[in-house]
Amino acid sequence: MFAAENGLKGDPRLQAISNAIRVVPHFPKQGIMFQDITTLLLDHKAFKHTVDIFVERYKDMDISVVAGVEARGFMFGPSIALAIGAKFVPLRKPKKLPGEVIAEAYELEYGRDCLEMHVGAVEAGERAIVIDDLVATGGTLSAAIRLLERVGAQVVECGCVIGLREVKGQLRLNGKPLYILVEPREIDGC
């Protein structure tokens, strides 16, 4: 669900966030209009709004785990975790985490990739959210959800700053609610 349709209609913070995102055409390849959040991170007010909106949403939901997907999920997840008093759990590409891990493979457009989580980071019964900068096909987020569920956690929601068209009509991912702040920017609207 989009924040604007779910309680935040007309909230000026959403416009500020959207305005701060830069579109980079043809990255990483032709035809892709890449939604660059690094410009959002340069705008302190808009970056703070982003974190605040997620914190307001999750702070009274008894969330004890914020999982963030490498690497842009690391830019948003920890601040949310700190504000709501939850642990932060990084979900990483293979061979980055030093301890014992569980791994979940997922499909890419061409080929497969893998997400890992430390064994013991999350306990059965914990309520978790997954944070990333953007959801496109939902493949990575689905893998993240599966990792958390495999250790018995309850994934309450996935939160993303940007949600691409493919997910617009989709309220849920693997049956989990999806909460998105803004739609992608168009190049002409920058």
By annotation, the residues acting in catalysis are: 72, 109
In the range 105-144, which residues lie near other proteins by CB under 8 A?
Answer: 118, 121
- Asked if residue 78 has a cis previous peptide bond (ω within 30° of 0), the answer is no
Do residues 175 and 13 make contact, with C-beta atoms less than 8 angstroms apart? no
Q: Report 12-41 residues binding other proteins (CB under 8 A).
A: 22, 24, 27-28, 34, 36, 38, 41
Q: Give the list of residues 6+ apart from residue 159 with CB closer than 8 angstroms, or none.
A: 54, 57, 58, 80, 129, 130, 131, 179, 180
| 181 scored as a contact of other proteins (CB under 8 A) | no
Measured from the CB atom, the residue of 122 and 143 that comes closer to other proteins is: 122
Kindly state the smallest distance separating residue 9's Cβ from other proteins, in Å: 26
The H or E element containing residue 145 is: helix 139-150
Closer residue to other proteins (CB): 32 or 105: 32
Residues 6+ apart with CB under 8 A from 85: none
Interacting residue ranges for other proteins, rule: CB under 8 A? 22, 24, 27-28, 34, 36, 38, 41-44, 47-48, 51, 70-71, 74-76, 78-79, 81-82, 85-90, 92, 95-99, 118, 121
